[in-house]
Structure 1
């Protein structure tokens, strides 16, 4: 019988992967900051048109800006954590779905995992 099972993909932290993650987080941070600036610009532009109620307009855009600010805080936290992690740590990168063959007598693996080091599969756990 074949089943679909969730497999965790983990990345082993190396100097190379640490640099890539920092670049990714910094790029995401810049994107969030650009979005905040754009939203603030849109509020000012729309306030001048007088087609919208200033209170509703401000509330809507403040919610959107606050979402971006929260994401910015999360990215700052992730960058701090990345600096503290020792090389060789395993970071959960994502989850993927895998088609697995099972039969009576097989050991049931609750959380199979694929371990990646610098973009190369280093180990496959729990998929014997």
Structure 2
């Protein structure tokens, strides 16, 4: 992937990006969109609080910007994000990064290696 380039503005608001991931998921492109947005943020140093950056990430994965822009304000996208946040809170998530694996929460950057190890152990990889 290359060296990490922290976004020029950090920490930043991820609201537009979170809504865009929901809108992309509704089009079957959630994972591709999320990866494109994260690459823009952490390889190119782009600020995901910037609506234009969020739209550009969509364009890179084939989402029509004329559709994605309005989707960021769509009631169903906002509601879907609220519901996901409520599910995360109910599961015990309270910060990022968090990985939930077979009912076990791994929270914090220092626990990502533990999560990867647990995944490998469970999957036989």
The TM-score normalised by the length of structure 2 is 0.27
The structure with the largest strand share of the pair is 1
Q: Greater RCO between the two (CA within 8 Å, min separation 6)?
A: 1
The structure with the largest helix share of the pair is 2
